[in-house]
Structure 1
Amino acid sequence: MISELNERSRQIFRALVEAYLAEGVPVGSKSIAAQLPAVLSSATIRNVMKDLEDMGLLYSPHTSAGRMPTQAGLRMFVDALLEVGNVTEAEAREIEAMAMARGAKPEEVLSDATSRLSGLARCAGLVLSPKQEIVLKHIEFVLISPGQALTIIVGQDGQVENRLITVPMGMTADA
């Protein structure tokens, strides 16, 4: 699907998703125009947003609101547009050695790998068991103390999971 987007559509889509992830509210054309390197009118941006909506990547919660990414839009952003720095050879060897360690419990390997990868990416890491299909309704991170956060996960079915996770030192509540 990413191949169907021209460069301008990609830039607008990336700016919209990044703004949505930062603020958590629908994003309007004026906000996107302020973020783009090229000068585009709000009308041009709205036309591109309409095309992205027709492709199933965006939706508008109501007529006068900005747009938000759909689940398919977020998936495409993560798969095709999200840029995370490269893992060095030393980091890759360390992660591989940890995963291959004899006697390590799968939960410990996943937990350690998630912590390391989230530290490298400077993003929150989350591992879900493939045993069941879970549709996430809401996820929230609450900084408890330096280096530790509470993750609250709410499924579409109302199931709530709470987990304490390790976060990179120096991470602030607004990160």
Structure 2
Amino acid sequence: MTAGAVEIRRATPADLEPIMAIETAAFVNDAWSPESMAHELADSSCFYLVAVEQAAGEAGAVVAYSGLRAPIGSPDSDIQTITVAPEYRRRGIARDLVRRMLDEAAARGARETFLEVRVDNPGAQTLYESFGFEGIAVRPRYYMPDGVDALVMRASLPAPSAALSTSEDL
């Protein structure tokens, strides 16, 4: 399935390097370590996707990624990260990734999904609100070393449907 000129697919350990390139460029002061990201990609409780630019005759570059922690059967899930390279923003990629994260969480049996978002990122907050997320708490100085607060958001999920795509489809 495509979103404009990108294809969304399941992330693999081979995607670590391009994911980290976007991560360190986007989050200069508080990027995840390569070791932490590698652990996430290998963890069966996690579901990571990448958006890959589609260019004729080329393998394509990773331009966005997202991650979900959702142990199968757990009533709770957590969107760990969604990051889109700056030149690919405003193309609906983040919206597609959020939708797929929520679909996967529901397919795994989660009834609620949580996330943290910087309080100084109203664009992301608006995106999440459009999916039914509501602010439920603030974590003071969560994003370090900048000391920016995190808004904790929660969304209720519908019961899983047999029609939902699951990780096996990606």
Q: TM-score range by the shorter chain?
A: under 0.3
Report the structure, 1 or 2, having the larger strand content. 2
- Normalised by the length of structure 1, the TM-score is 0.22
**Which has the higher relative contact order, 1 or 2, with Cα contacts under 8 A spaced 6 or more apart?**
2
Higher Rg of the two aligned structures: 1
Report the structure, 1 or 2, having the larger helix content. 1
- Normalised by the length of structure 2, the TM-score is 0.23
